[in-house]
């Protein structure tokens, strides 16, 4: 792909083409091909999830930020780590299914370690209970990562650590969002974590579906492991 994709209509076409990917391998191939233009394309969409998630974590984290180790799941090119670094966090481990995305994450210099893993297909390649913060932004949505991955995020976090998750609230993601929120509540009832805050955001990113105009909304969830 070349820089010519960097207009709203072309970015929209790129994203809608991703929805045609049905197998895990097709999805990974799509993200591998998108990696080079990913940052500039999501900027065209005014994609705010990384900064919103980082703000939620920063507002509630009370520990030593320089010492804290952050697990960035579905890290992509490193947009979330870049935002968290602005809030004083410095240590990141990134996990993603796309090697091309991980190459860019490595080049960013933000991560101490990056690992390739097919999310939802295999366990997270980390030691349980070893992270101060775990975050997943952009991947919890229909056709992406299964809801069950949030249990692994919780397992990977230290007692007292934080788990931050985001999802979209637009029409085609409402069923997934409902299933996700049921799982989050179920885990709370099981005594695994407590809800710190849920932030509903009206202007999440520009809509790309033919059925929606303007901006779609989204939600940031922050939980504390017990």
pLDDT, tens only, 141-173 = 998 999 999 999 999 999 999 999 999 999 999
| pLDDT band at residue 211 using 50, 70 and 90 as cut-offs | confident
In the chain, domain spans? 3-44, 49-225
Asked if 52 contacts 199 with a C-beta cutoff of 8 angstroms, the reply is: yes
Percent of the chain's residues with pLDDT above 90: 87
Least confident of 128-137, 145-154, 175-184, 209-218: 209-218
Neighbour-count burial of 38, counting CB atoms closer than 10 A to its CB (0-12 exposed, 13-18 middle, 19+ buried):
buried
Higher pLDDT, 224 or 14: 224
Q: What is the mean pLDDT of the chain?
A: 94
Helices (H), the chain: 8-18, 24-44, 49-60, 79-86, 99-108, 149-156, 174-189
Report the alpha-carbon distance of residue 169 to residue 202 in Å, rounded.
Answer: 9
| Domain spanning 49-225, CATH architecture | 3-Layer(aba) Sandwich (3.40)
Q: Give the 3-state secondary structure of residue 217.
A: strand
| pLDDT band at residue 3 using 50, 70 and 90 as cut-offs | very low
The model's pLDDT over 15-71, given as tens digits with 9 standing for 90+, comes to 888 877 788 889 999 999 999 999 999 999 999 999 999 999 999 999 999 999 999
pLDDT of residue 135: 98
pLDDT of residue 207: 94
């Amino acid at each position: 792909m070349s820089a010519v994709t960097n207009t709203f209509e072309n970015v929209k076409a790129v994203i809608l083409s991703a929805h045609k990917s049905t197998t895990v391998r097709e999805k990974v191939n799509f993200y591998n091909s998108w990696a080079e233009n990913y940052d500039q394309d999501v900027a065209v969409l005014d994609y705010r999830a990384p900064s919103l998630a980082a703000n939620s974590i920063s507002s509630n984290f009370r520990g030593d930020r320089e010492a804290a180790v952050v697990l960035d799941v579905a890290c992509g090119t490193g947009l979330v780590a870049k935002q968290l670094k602005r809030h004083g966090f410095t240590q990141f481990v990134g996990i993603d299914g796309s090697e091309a995305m991980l190459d860019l994450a490595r080049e960013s210099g933000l991560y101490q370690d990056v690992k390739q893993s097919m999310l939802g297909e295999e366990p997270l390649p980390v030691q349980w209970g070893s992270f101060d913060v775990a975050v997943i932004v952009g991947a919890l949505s229909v056709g992406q990562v299964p809801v069950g991955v949030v249990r692994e995020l919780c397992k990977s976090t230290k007692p007292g650590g934080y788990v931050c998750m985001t999802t979209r609230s637009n029409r085609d993601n409402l069923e997934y969002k409902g299933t996700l929120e049921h799982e989050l509540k179920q885990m709370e009832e099981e005594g695994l974590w407590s809800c710190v805050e849920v932030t509903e955001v009206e202007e999440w990113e520009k809509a790309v579906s033919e059925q929606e105009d303007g901006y779609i909304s989204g939600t940031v969830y922050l939980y504390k492991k017990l």
